[in-house]
């Protein structure tokens, strides 16, 4: 180490130490968002098409680059459960799924997979909903999920769920982005991000047998999405989660984006008319410290296009 | 004769190879079809509809196709058997392959007279709608059942082994003995009536022939008779094996002009016309349907088995099903299974009948399963569900569920307020809207399952989707597009 190098290092060390004593310095340096400006915890957008609202909303939340690094493999988990026509409100909008894939690929993601363990026959669901074509068009990979062999049993530290079979793409991905569609659910009350993650699991019947609400919350202790993007454009407000008649659907024309699954679900449930904490599985997840249910504590950006 | 003969023999060898190739293509297509890899709507997806027995069962509506089969056999012999039929092709390929491996080859055998009895039984089965009589002897149905059962067994599914076993026996037998299934195949025998007097066919030059016996060893049907210097044209499928192998080229294909064949042809046409006119008075229905509609006999509909959507009722279904397993192969979720007597049944549990799917009706070659349009299928009740609410996890365990209402496509099942203190909802079932798709039974987490689904005697049309429940029931009011965000 020569004199010049020694001086350089001392100066660098001095600046670094000094920064720690600045207001909030240590906290900021150790937070994952260090090096970025402060972004809102939750963004709610309305008044445009799903694609437009997504582009604007992502800009506000800090861009997909905050969540997806170069070369990382991403799994996108939309709702492709139902064999219903495109934009039938039971599945996520194909336009939004395509938008998320494109943002990830633009940010330099390695591979972008899309998975959902569909409830109705997968081929019809992906084809008739238009999501299959949207995935292909945007450059994503639709992974098969219609056989037990694609799933692995994993231990879960939950109050009801001790073990479940999770799709291998979820186990291996670097980044999980949940892109649910907001809707009413006859059993769970609402189906948003955390309920939608049941689509990562093979043995869903066990959830119902062991306690649906607790199992939904328990799964989050195994894996939380890194980003939640809620499609609230056309929303099934009754007879969910499949709907069936046009009178089941209300146009909300909105989108909610948040890295906090509990906050995102709370916002969605409130849009469906529930009180904060009115849905059991969201309340249980918040109680287990898996996210923030009290939206008054969060920084929320509301955008109208 | 020597010079043109050699050229001729090369020509027959080419014809033989072309025919073998065409048969291989048909065999491959049928195999893919019965493995579920070719679906209705794909190119070749409608091939199934050109089965002989299947067309005969659809007599009246599709009887024209049977006349076409007869006309084709009357002109050029049993080309159907040597090119189109997968059961014939697979037997012949195995026989030719195993002959190369040194398996014994049989010589000419006299026609097996018992086949006429089998034809009579199959015809009676078709006319009086006793399905096992025709479904167990039909060549393509046997092939389909065999392939489909093999595939299911290989996949570890619990299906009857009888069809795979029968198929295996036929295949093993064919390695040594040639096309033995064809000896008693009713479709082939019926077409044989026409081919024995056909305009074109194989001829043997009796003056040149030295009865060397090469043709006998090249004939998978055992119908070339070197000693008697003749070919039994009723059984000959025009495989061209004999013409391609005759050392002196004394077997040729061409117009067969003899006084007896001309008379035979005329008699045959007269007889066929008579039979068709005789059947015609029944108005295109089989005798059983005719007797039913005239009140002579009573319907046998009423078992509790669940038959595919479009089967309408047990009566129609049993009259027409050849048991070919095409529907089982086409079902995307694999819930159509053959029972031991070769009738398809719906088995719920691992999956259920998909709301927008009409694949089984699209492939059924006999209209035993009608081609429903999707709109009609969605309303067609194929069975009826029963809910035993005391077994439901909501009542038994006081925990949220809703799995059944989630998947119920017609909202015959919906969730209603149950215990507001616990925020629970409970399924409420309105059987008027139930189409019996089995979704509820297949997802129910209760042990034992809270649903039972039973077949209905006659498939009927339901009102469609039940309009129900307003959100006010739950005391919530969702946001509208013009409202501000509620947070």
**Strand pairing report for A141-142 and B424-429:** unpaired
Domain residue limits at B230: 2-280
Q: Are residues B260 and B327 in the same domain?
A: no
Instruction: Tell me how many domains chain B contains.
Output: 2
Q: Given A83, A211, A250, which is nearest B356 (Cβ)?
A: A83
Closest CA to B135 of B341, B316, B330: B341
* Residue B289, both tokens: 């349907």
Q: Which of B256, B280, B304 is the last residue of a domain?
A: B280
pLDDT in tens, B52-79: 777 666 554 445 667 777 788 888 889 9
Q: What is the CATH number of the domain that holds B365?
A: 3.30.70.20
Q: Are residues B265 and B333 in the same domain?
A: no
> Contact B445/A295, CB-based, under 8 Å?
no
Q: Are residues B159 and B115 in the same domain?
A: yes
* Residue B347, both tokens: 């088995």
CA atoms within 13 A on the CB side of A152: 7
> What distance in Å separates the CA atoms of residue A253 and residue B478, rounded to the nearest whole number?
13
Q: Are residues B71 and B202 in the same domain?
A: yes
> What distance in Å separates the CA atoms of residue B106 and residue B177, rounded to the nearest whole number?
7
Closest CA to B27 of B53, B47, B42, B13: B47
Evaluate whether residue B294 is within a structural domain: no
The pTM (predicted TM-score) of the whole model is: 0.81
Strand ranges (E), B404-450? 413-419, 424-429
Domain boundaries, given as residue ranges, for chain A: 1-31, 36-304
Q: Which of A187, A196, A249 to mutate: most B Cβ within 10 Å?
A: A187
> What distance in Å separates the CA atoms of residue B293 and residue B281, rounded to the nearest whole number?
14
Chain B residue nearest residue A255, CA to CA? B485
Cα dihedral A15→A18→A22→A26 (10° resolution): 90
Q: Are residues B228 and B367 in the same domain?
A: no
* Residue B64, both tokens: 């024209």
**Structure-token match 């090249």, residue found:** B218
* Residue B227, both tokens: 């000693």
Q: Which residues of A touch B352 (CB under 8 A)?
A: none
Q: Are residues B269 and B385 in the same domain?
A: no
Evaluate whether residue B285 is within a structural domain: no
> What distance in Å separates the CA atoms of residue A20 and residue A247, rounded to the nearest whole number?
58
Evaluate whether residue B322 is within a structural domain: yes
Question: Class assignment of domain A36-304?
Answer: alpha beta
Inform me whether the C-beta atom of residue B405 falls under 8 Å from chain A C-beta atoms. Answer: yes
Evaluate whether residue B305 is within a structural domain: no
Burial A209-247 (b: 16+ CB within 10 A, else e): bbbbbbbbbbbbbbbbbbbbbbbbbbbbbbbbbbbbeee
Evaluate whether residue B30 is within a structural domain: yes
Mean pLDDT for back-to-back runs of 10 residues, chain B (487 residues): 54 92 94 85 75 64 66 88 94 89 78 86 78 84 91 84 91 90 88 87 89 90 90 91 90 81 76 64 59 69 80 80 88 89 88 94 86 94 95 92 93 85 87 96 94 91 81 69 88
> Contact A208/B393, CB-based, under 8 Å?
yes
pLDDT in tens, A182-240: 999 988 999 999 999 999 999 999 999 999 999 999 999 999 999 999 999 999 998 88
Q: Are residues B335 and B412 in the same domain?
A: yes
Q: Is A299 left (phi over 0), alpha (psi -120 to 50) or beta?
A: beta
Q: What is the mean pLDDT of chain A?
A: 90
Inform me whether the C-beta atom of residue B407 falls under 8 Å from chain A C-beta atoms. Answer: yes
- Please indicate whether residue B204 or residue A245 has the higher confidence score (pLDDT): B204
Q: Are residues B177 and B318 in the same domain?
A: no
**Burial of B345 (C-beta count, 10 Å sphere; 0-12/13-18/19+):** middle
* End-to-end CA separation in angstroms for chain A: 58
From residue A160, alpha-carbon distances to A221, B196, B261, B394 in Å are 12, 75, 83, 16
Evaluate whether residue B298 is within a structural domain: no
Evaluate whether residue B384 is within a structural domain: yes
Q: Which residues of A touch B406 (CB under 8 A)?
A: 119, 185-187, 240-242
Inform me whether the C-beta atom of residue B265 falls under 8 Å from chain A C-beta atoms. Answer: no
* Residue A202, both tokens: 């093979």
Q: Which helix (H) or strand (E) holds A303?
A: strand A300-304
């Amino acid at each position: 180490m020569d004199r010049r190098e020694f001086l350089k290092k001392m100066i660098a060390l001095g600046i670094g130490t000094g920064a720690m004593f600045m207001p909030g310095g240590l906290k900021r340096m150790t937070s994952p968002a260090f090096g970025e400006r402060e972004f809102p915890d939750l963004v709610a957008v309305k008044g445009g098409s799903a694609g437009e609202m997504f582009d604007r909303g992502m800009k506000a939340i800090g861009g997909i680059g905050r969540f997806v690094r170069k070369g990382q493999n991403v799994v996108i988990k939309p709702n492709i459960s139902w064999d219903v026509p495109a934009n039938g409100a039971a599945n996520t909008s194909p336009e939004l799924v395509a938008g998320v894939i494109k943002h990830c690929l633009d940010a330099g993601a390695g591979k972008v997979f899309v998975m959902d363990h569909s409830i109705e026959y997968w081929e019809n669901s992906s084809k008739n909903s238009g999501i299959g074509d949207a995935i292909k068009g945007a450059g994503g990979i639709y992974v098969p999920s219609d056989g037990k062999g694609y799933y692995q049993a994993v231990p879960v530290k939950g109050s009801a769920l001790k073990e479940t079979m999770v799709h291998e793409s979820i186990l291996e991905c670097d980044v999980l982005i949940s892109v649910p569609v907001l809707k009413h659910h006859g059993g769970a009350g609402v189906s948003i991000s955390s309920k939608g993650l049941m689509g990562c699991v093979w043995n869903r019947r066990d959830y119902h047998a062991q306690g649906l609400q607790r199992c939904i919350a328990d799964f989050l202790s195994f894996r939380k999405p890194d980003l939640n993007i809620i499609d609230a454009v056309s929303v099934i407000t009754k007879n969910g989660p499949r709907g069936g008649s046009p009178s089941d659907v209300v146009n909300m024309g909105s989108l909610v984006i948040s890295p906090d699954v509990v906050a995102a679900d709370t916002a969605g449930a409130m849009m469906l008319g529930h009180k904060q904490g009115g849905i059991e599985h969201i309340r249980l997840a918040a109680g287990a410290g898996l996210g923030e249910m009290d939206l008054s504590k969060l920084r929320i950006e509301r955008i109208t296009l | 004769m020597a010079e043109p003969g050699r050229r001729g023999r090369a020509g027959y060898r080419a014809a033989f190879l072309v025919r073998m190739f065409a048969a291989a293509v048909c065999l491959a297509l049928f195999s893919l079809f019965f493995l579920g890899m070719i679906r209705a709507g794909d190119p070749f997806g409608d091939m199934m509809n050109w089965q002989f027995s299947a067309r005969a069962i659809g007599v009246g509506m599709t009887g024209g196709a049977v006349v076409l089969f007869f006309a084709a056999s009357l002109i050029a012999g049993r080309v159907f058997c040597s090119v189109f039929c997968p059961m014939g092709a697979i037997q012949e390929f195995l026989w030719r392959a195993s002959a190369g491996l040194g398996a014994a080859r049989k010589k000419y055998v006299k026609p097996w007279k018992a086949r006429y009895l089998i034809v009579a039984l199959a015809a009676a089965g078709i006319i009086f709608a006793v399905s096992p009589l025709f479904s167990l002897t039909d060549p393509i149905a046997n092939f389909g059942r065999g392939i489909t059962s093999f595939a299911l067994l290989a996949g570890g599914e619990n299906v009857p082994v009888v069809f795979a076993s029968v198929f295996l026996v036929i295949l093993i037998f064919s390695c040594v003995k040639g096309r033995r299934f064809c000896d008693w195949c009713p479709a082939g025998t019926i077409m044989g009536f026409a081919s024995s007097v056909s305009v074109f066919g194989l001829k043997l030059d009796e003056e040149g022939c030295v009865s060397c016996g090469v043709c006998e060893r090249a004939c998978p049907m055992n119908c070339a008779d070197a000693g008697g210097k003749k070919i039994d044209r009723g059984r000959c499928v025009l495989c061209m094996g004999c013409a391609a192998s005759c050392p002196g080229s004394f077997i040729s294909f061409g117009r067969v002009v003899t006084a007896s064949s001309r008379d035979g042809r005329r008699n045959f046409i007269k007889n066929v016309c008579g039979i068709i006119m005789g059947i015609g008075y029944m108005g295109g229905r089989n005798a059983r349907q005719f007797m039913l509609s005239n009140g002579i006999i009573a319907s046998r509909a009423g078992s509790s088995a669940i038959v595919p959507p479009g089967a309408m009722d047990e009566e129609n279904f049993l009259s027409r099903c050849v048991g070919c397993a095409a529907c089982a192969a086409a079902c995307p979720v694999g819930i159509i299974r053959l029972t031991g007597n070769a009738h398809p049944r719906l088995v719920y549990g691992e999956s259920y009948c998909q709301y927008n799917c009409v694949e089984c009706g699209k492939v059924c070659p006999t209209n035993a399963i009608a081609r429903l349009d999707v709109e009609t299928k969605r309303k067609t009740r194929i069975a009826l569900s029963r809910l035993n609410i005391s077994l439901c996890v909501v009542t038994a365990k006081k925990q949220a569920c809703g799995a059944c209402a989630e998947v119920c496509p017609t909202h015959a099942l919906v969730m209603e307020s149950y215990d507001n203190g616990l925020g629970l909802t409970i399924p409420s079932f309105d059987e008027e809207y139930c189409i019996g798709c089995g979704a509820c039974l297949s997802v129910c987490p209760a042990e034992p399952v809270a649903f039972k689904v039973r077949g209905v005697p006659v498939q009927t049309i339901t009102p469609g989707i039940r309009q129900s429940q307003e959100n006010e029931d739950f005391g919530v009011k969702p946001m509208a597009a013009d409202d501000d965000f509620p947070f």
